[in-house]
Amino acid sequence: MTVREAAAAKAAQRNLRRMDRRAVVHGMADALAAHAAGILAANEQDLRDAMDLDATMLDRLRLDRHRIDALLGSMRAIAEMQDPVDRVLEQRTLQNGLYLQRRSVPLGVIGMIYESRPDVTADAAAMCIRAGSAVLLKGGSEAIATNTAMVGAIREGLMRAGIGRDAGHLVQLVGRERLPAMLASSEIDLMVPRGSERLIALVRRRSRAPVLASGGGNCHIYVHEDADMAKAIRIIVNAKTQRPGVCNAVETVLVHQRVAREFLPLLQHELYELRGIVLRGCARCQRIITCEAAAAADWRTEYLAPILALRVIPSMAQAMRHIERYGTGHSEAIITEDKEAQDLFLRDVDAAVVYANASTRFTDGGQFGMGAELGISTQKVHCRGPIGLDALVSSKWEVHGDGQVRA
């Protein structure tokens, strides 16, 4: 990342404004499909070079025909989404005759900083181009061969779609040695880090551009005193076991004391006996079922693993206080048949997504009907929740006058 490279990205982005970006993104997908064999070969090389990665990391790094197909499907869906640019967001005519329109416009240059998963490379490139912006991609160095092959294919697709020489500027791969320059660049309009808490904290601290970050998900489900037990079991089993390693999986279940004696044995049967989930309970919990003891640290831990913390709680107010204290503002749920309790929980719990009687696993752009996403924002400004295409644009005020001056 030199000043010239970032400036070239911005210049290329201006020309993108005039293109049919739906067709451009389809062209990127076409080229990726045509180069699938080369991309898989590059991925093989990354996997051979990455012998010190653990199994989870290797799994995230690995591409196969099936994943390439999923990725192409995602790019085609992004191409077909409603254009987020050039939409009139507000309009009004003032008494002096001035006509105002606030219109969505591309951000300009978006920086993505992420770790091993090479599918992010294709998704991020497709989303940023669809939203009219250039993108600088700093992927993990363990995926360098895969990412280089993918970006090569994407650029070929851009060229064929009529972008010409700008292709190389619109989608740029940033090497590790250029990360400090990327963080210091004044040409980047939005920085999107995706990965570990450590990576996100580094980007927050060092980025000159504003940051849109996906924080961790220490998610809770609170089982209220009048909960439908069958629903509660079904939802908790889903939220814990459907995919334990992701940010919207549940980590702590809070159970109202009036139903603990009935509910906890059911939960133990479904989670521990049938599915092998490790349960860590508070002292009151341990008086009802046999489980490991939860320490204070458990309330703060995002396990991302087949472990669940359990706490018996004397009231809904206490449950909400627990969530306020230990939650990360990601996804929080209540199970209750009481409409008033639902409304109170949904209104007062401060998180990106709050649920009544549903699994926290729905926190996802695709599930929400927003299409692809770049992560789940847990910050409160610019975008909160799934980061879809609409979060990748800015707006401006256009004012049409006929000689008006201020009095």
342 binds a copy of itself (CB under 8 A): yes
CA atoms within 13 A on the CB side of 388: 19
Integer angstrom CA distances of residue 20 from 25, 89, 200, 328: 9, 21, 34, 40
Specify the residue, 238 or 318, whose C-beta has the smaller distance to a copy of itself: 238
Q: What are phi and psi of 130, to 5 degrees?
A: -60, -35
Shortest spacing between CB 395 and a copy of itself, in angstroms:
6
22 binds a copy of itself (CB under 8 A): no
Q: Please tell me the distance from the alpha carbon of residue 369 to that of residue 364, in angstroms, as a whole number.
A: 9
Q: Please tell me the distance from the alpha carbon of residue 136 to that of residue 182, in angstroms, as a whole number.
A: 8
15 binds a copy of itself (CB under 8 A): no
Contacts with 407 (C-beta within 8 Å, 6 or more apart), sequence order:
none
CA-wise closest residue to 253 among 262, 240, 265: 240
* Site stretch for a copy of itself (CB under 8 A), options 27-35, 119-127, 142-150, 389-397: 389-397
83 binds a copy of itself (CB under 8 A): no
Beta strands in 161-306 (DSSP E): 171-173, 190-194, 219-223, 250-256, 278-281, 292-293
403 binds a copy of itself (CB under 8 A): yes
Q: How many residues bind a copy of itself (CB under 8 A)?
A: 65
Specify the residue, 147 or 241, whose C-beta has the smaller distance to a copy of itself: 241
Q: Please tell me the distance from the alpha carbon of residue 253 to that of residue 155, in angstroms, as a whole number.
A: 47
Q: Which of 14, 176, 269, 287: binder of a copy of itself (CB under 8 A)?
A: 14
* Site stretch for a copy of itself (CB under 8 A), options 122-130, 267-275, 285-293, 355-363: 355-363
- Please list every residue from 93 through 152 that binds a copy of itself, using CB under 8 A: 94, 98, 100, 102, 105, 107-108
Shortest spacing between CB 252 and a copy of itself, in angstroms:
18
* Site stretch for a copy of itself (CB under 8 A), options 25-33, 146-154, 236-244, 302-310: 236-244
Strands 219-223 and 250-256: parallel
Q: What are phi and psi of 376, to 5 degrees?
A: -120, 110
The pair of structure tokens assigned to 332 is 């929080």
178 binds a copy of itself (CB under 8 A): no
- Please list every residue from 308 through 327 that binds a copy of itself, using CB under 8 A: none
Which residues of this chain interact with a copy of itself, rule CB under 8 A? 14, 17, 92, 94, 98, 100, 102, 105, 107-108, 189-190, 204, 208, 210-212, 228, 230-231, 234-235, 237-239, 242, 342, 346-348, 350-359, 361-363, 367-369, 379-382, 384-385, 394-406
